[in-house]
A and B are shown apart, each in its own frame.
Chain A
Amino acid sequence: MRISNVEGPLDPSLIQFLTSQLSIQVAACSDAGEPTLARALGARMSADGHRLALMVPVSQARELLTCIAANGHIAAVFNEPETHRTVQLKGNDARIEAISAADAAALGPYVERLARRLQHYQVPEAFSRAFYAADPADLVAVSFSPSAVYGQTPGPHAGEPLKPGKAP
């Protein structure tokens, strides 16, 4: 089944939000209907605004990557911890790619920024650094063209499709 509320490139403000070093979790499911999930460590949008790539540590996401390779279905949730602003994207053409040198270089700043965000909840920096630690050699990029976007900020409207141009 194809769900779509996205046509063309994503809204620039949404792209800015998705790539602003947020907490990211990625889900997929097997052809038998078994869901799985893992954390992603950073997001990059293609220059034309059509394809989003998420950095995923292979060692933490073997089942997820197997599912994506099998059917290409993907869901990813992006959360800004200190504001609770949350967006979920879905796609059905996900594929696994090697990361670029720029992706590897972005890992350090990503961890640093999230550690700062979590200090809002008095989470010690040492904890954040362990939580988001990854070896760039262990990362792959999972890219997909988002076909649906949902607002998931906690509240009664969580889960509703996000209207184009509307902030999460």
Chain B
Amino acid sequence: MDILQIIGLAIIATVIIAVIKGQRPEIAIQISIAAGIIVFAMILGKVTAVIELLNSYAQKVNIDTIYISTLLKIVGIAYIAEFGAEVCKDAGEGAIASKVELAGKVFIVVLAVPIITSLLDLIIRIMP
């Protein structure tokens, strides 16, 4: 029951942070970042397994892997950017968090540009 471990860790981290925040807010931030990273690392293995399974099914039914790989890359970037932004936001640095989000968006757009241009090209070709 990994979920119990994760929730236990999260609750303990939250209690420690709540206790410590009054005296040492800088350590509270570090604990929150560490707890976040540990939870992220714990779910990473499971997410990888799920995505591998989906990928293998996609190959089995002979679907174009380019669709899936682009989507997965975008989801991965979104996850990491969101995680980084949340950590920054927790530490009270909203400005840096929004920059991290912007960076994530830029990378997603870089990946999405070929898809959008190919759709445009497709539409142009349909036109007689």
Whether A and B are associated in the same complex: the answer reads no
**Which residues of B are at the interface with A, using a C-beta cutoff of 8 A?**
none
**Which residues of A are at the interface with B, using a C-beta cutoff of 8 A?**
none
